[in-house]
């Protein structure tokens, strides 16, 4: 059974940094692209970033480029999202997702999602 478990969320002050983690199991992690998506309160889904199976291809939404950094550790079957200079606009539920297509740099779509980790940015 595929499982994705996000962690690292919580209450953070504006201007601080945060690292979100996503631990994966139930599939060959090394073979798939991984993504981060968020949903702010009352808003829709927003794609944030992706990393290919070998970390050779990274992608970022224009809205977060330069402030968010994605990385992965295939030995730990984990993907990470580093967020700098947090603002109240970053308050959201952050999901990690597994790409659908094995070996593709992006994976086409997100076949499996975690339950999300909540980030609240407030002073």
Please state the closest distance from residue 47 (CB atom) to another protein, in A: 4
Among positive and negative, which fits the CA dihedral 95, 10, 64, 122?
positive
Report how far apart, in Å, the C-alpha atoms of 106 and of each of 41, 48, 87, 90, 91 are. Answer: 27, 13, 28, 24, 25
Q: Which 9-68 positions form the footprint of another protein (CB under 8 A)? A: 33, 35, 37, 44-47, 49-50, 57-62
Rounded Cα–Cα distance for residues 94 and 80 (Å): 11
Q: Is residue 113 a contact residue for another protein (CB under 8 A)? A: yes
Please state the closest distance from residue 73 (CB atom) to another protein, in A: 19
Binding residues for another protein, rule: CB under 8 A, are: 33, 35, 37, 44-47, 49-50, 57-62, 95, 100, 105-111, 113-116
């Amino acid at each position: 059974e595929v499982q994705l478990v996000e962690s690292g969320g919580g209450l953070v002050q504006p201007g601080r940094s945060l690292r979100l983690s996503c631990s994966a199991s139930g599939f060959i992690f090394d073979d798939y692209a991984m993504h981060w998506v968020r949903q702010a309160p009352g808003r829709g889904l927003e794609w944030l970033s992706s990393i290919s199976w070998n970390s050779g291809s990274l992608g970022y939404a224009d809205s977060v480029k330069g402030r968010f950094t994605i990385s992965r550790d295939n030995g730990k079957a984990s993907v990470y999202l580093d967020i700098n200079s947090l603002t109240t606009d970053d308050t959201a539920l952050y999901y990690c997702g597994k790409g659908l297509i094995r070996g593709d740099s992006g994976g086409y779509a997100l076949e499996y999602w975690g339950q999300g980790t909540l980030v609240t940015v407030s002073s």
